[in-house]
């Protein structure tokens, strides 16, 4: 049976959230799962350029995810690779499911997410950070998005896998999930590996339980931002 030295199997790593970190951005946030740290910034809403991309029915969302060269030991090159582009599209689709786009027709917003330290779970950390940054920018939203990875390490079901667990030699399954809790809706569900149907149901329940905890921390961080200004 797999066990952890630093936390229980159903616990996330320490979560650190900061909102309004970059004063020149429309909205910004930093979100960390332990040693995985992502900062995000929002530029907009603003007029659409080039003009032909304008959507008369709703807000145009552009999202860029990138891992900085020093975020991992192996990565050396600056710039987007295929994985970065794929994650950018995934997170963009998640944000399109939570931002009320039809309230901002003919406008656009650029959202940037940069991983400054990576120890697995970067896409879910990016989703959480981007959701907070959009809220701090005043974008109309159905709710904050809460995301984390759950999965199976060896024979154990776990929350918030780190890099060691993703690469566990006896086998691991990683399942990123993003929840829109007020709508009881899943905006992202991916599965890298194999689990039984019973295990899948348990992992979904675990992800929802932890998403509620993340949501509380997100709301606390947002309140802290506005209370500090009052």
Peptide bond just before 130 cis, omega within 30 deg: no
**pLDDT confidence of residue 227:** 74
Q: Which one of 2-16, 76-90, 216-230 scores highest in mean pLDDT?
A: 2-16
Residue with tokens 């295990």: 199
- Residue-wise pLDDT for 7-46, tens only, equals 999 999 999 999 999 999 999 999 999 999 999 999 999 9
Question: Mean pLDDT for the chain?
Answer: 94
Q: Across residues 160-169, what is the average pLDDT? A: 95
**pLDDT confidence of residue 58:** 96
pLDDT for 198 beyond 60:
yes
Indicate the pLDDT class of residue 181, thresholds 50, 70 and 90: very high
The structure's pTM equals 0.95
HEC per residue, the chain: CCCCCCCCCCCCCCEEEEECCCCCCCEEEEEEECCEEEEEEEEEEEECCCHHHCCCCCCEEEEEEEECCCCCCCCCCCCCCHHHHHHHHHHHHHHHCCECHHHCCCEEEEEEEEEEECCCCHHHHHHHHHHHHHHHCCCCECCCCEEEEEEEECCEEEECCCHHHHCCCCCEEEEEEEEEHHHCEEEEECCECCCCHHHHHHHHHHHHHHHHHHHHHHHHHHHHHHHHHC
pLDDT for 153 beyond 60:
yes
- Residue-wise pLDDT for 130-148, tens only, equals 999 999 999 999 999 999 9
**pLDDT confidence of residue 229:** 63
Which of 197, 192, 154 has its CA nearest to residue 173? 192
d(CA 159, CA 150): 4
The larger pLDDT score, comparing residue 229 to residue 115, is at 115
Identify whether the C-beta of residue 183 lies closer than 8 Å to the C-beta of residue 98: no
The residue extents of the domains of the chain are 15-229
**pLDDT confidence of residue 125:** 98
Indicate the pLDDT class of residue 82, thresholds 50, 70 and 90: confident
Report percent pLDDT > 90 for the chain.
86
**pLDDT confidence of residue 226:** 73
- Residue-wise pLDDT for 54-76, tens only, equals 999 999 999 999 998 888 877 65
Residue with tokens 């600056």: 78
Indicate the pLDDT class of residue 230, thresholds 50, 70 and 90: low
**Which residues face 180 on adjacent strands?**
185
Which of 23, 34, 37 has its CA nearest to residue 225? 23
**pLDDT confidence of residue 69:** 86
Write the CATH number of the domain with boundaries 15-229: 3.30.230.70
Identify whether the C-beta of residue 3 lies closer than 8 Å to the C-beta of residue 9: yes
Strands 36-47 and 27-33: antiparallel
**Which residues face 30 on adjacent strands?**
18, 39
**pLDDT confidence of residue 72:** 83
pLDDT for 78 beyond 70:
no
């Amino acid at each position: 049976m797999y066990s952890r030295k630093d936390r229980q199997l159903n616990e996330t790593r320490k979560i650190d959230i900061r909102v309004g970190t970059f004063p020149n951005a429309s909205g910004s946030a930093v979100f960390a799962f332990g040693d995985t740290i992502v900062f995000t910034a929002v530029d907009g809403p603003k007029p659409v350029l080039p003009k032909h991309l304008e959507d008369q029915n709703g807000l145009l969302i552009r999202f860029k995810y990138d891992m900085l060269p020093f975020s991992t030991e192996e990565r050396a090159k600056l710039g987007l690779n295929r994985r970065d582009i794929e994650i950018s599209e995934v997170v963009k689709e998640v944000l399109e499911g939570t931002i009320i786009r039809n309230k901002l027709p003919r406008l656009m917003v650029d959202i940037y997410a940069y991983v400054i330290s990576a120890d697995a779970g970067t896409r879910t950390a990016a989703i959480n950070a981007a959701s907070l940054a959009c809220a701090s920018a005043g974008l109309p939203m159905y709710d904050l998005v809460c995301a984390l990875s759950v999965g199976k390490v060896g024979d154990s079901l776990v929350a918030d896998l780190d890099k060691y667990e993703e690469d566990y030699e006896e086998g691991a399954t990683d399942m990123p999930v993003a929840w829109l809790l007020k709508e009881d809706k899943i905006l992202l569900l991916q599965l890298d590996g194999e689990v039984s149907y019973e295990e899948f149901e348990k992992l979904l329940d675990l992800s929802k339980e932890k998403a509620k905890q993340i949501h509380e921390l997100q709301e606390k961080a947002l309140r802290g931002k506005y209370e500090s200004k009052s």
